Structure 1
Amino acid sequence: MILWFTLIAVAVAALGGVLCVVLGLVGRRPSDLSVGVLALLELLLIAQVVIAIVAPFAGNPPSGSLLEYWVYLVSAVLLPPAGVVWALIERSRWSTVIMGVAALAVAVMVWRMQVIWTIQGM
């Protein structure tokens, strides 16, 4: 993994998650802003999939379990769309909070993927 890309993804996920939670707690329903944050996060995660495929061929293999890494990555890729689908079905202030919680979970998962890729021994 690439450290600067990981830091950007974690920052976007954390800031977007906090934004969505705050918007939901003040009573805002899902909007272009809250859904757009998760769409941006999803684009970063798709780029992470490409990076994870290319990195071993470029001489940057993971130091930890590749299976564990991919389980985290696939799960993280599925969370933002699931949160948006929930928000579009329910359309209440709590669905905005759910999108925020999903984004915060992705922030933790992306950091864990960085640890698996770079720090964890075999």
Structure 2
Amino acid sequence: MLAVLVSVGVLATALTVWAVVRAARDQPVQGGQLPGMIAVEAALVVQAVVVGVLQAGGHPVPDGILLWGYVITSLCLLPAAFAWAFVERTRWSSVVLAIAAAVVVVLQVRIWQLWQ
């Protein structure tokens, strides 16, 4: 589980930095960032599967509903940010993507805290 959390965290941090740099340069989200978003989203899907399998195998979690709330929220953030970026073609699309990716990193920390 830790390897998946770290992978998601590293990918989401890289995407956050990339979006912050583009926002600082007053540039919108570009098509080249889509593979980065897809990589983070794919890692999040793997994480959801791992969490599901481990919970089905009997791993105790103090608050399963909160854990799944975090997992589902992390899965929904980047597609929502992408939809916003597709419509909003200003630097604010990069700001929205940076915030969404940063929230994914924070949610990974919370998931790890619940998993412990």
TM-score of the superposed pair, with normalisation by structure 2 = 0.92
Alignment-derived partner of residue 22 in structure 2: 23
* % identical aligned pairs: 27
Paired with 2:62 and 2:33, the residues of 1 have a C-alpha distance of 34
Paired with 1:65 and 1:74, the residues of 2 have a C-alpha distance of 14
Paired with 2:63 and 2:91, the residues of 1 have a C-alpha distance of 39
Paired with 2:32 and 2:69, the residues of 1 have a C-alpha distance of 29
The correspondence for 1:113, drawn from 90, 106, 111, is 111
Name the Cα RMSD after superposition.
Answer: 1.3
Alignment-derived partner of residue 51 in structure 2: 52
- The answer to whether 1:90 aligns with 2:82 is no
Runs of 5+ unmatched residues, structure 1: none
Supply the AA of the counterpart residue of 2:88: E
Runs of 5+ unmatched residues, structure 2: none
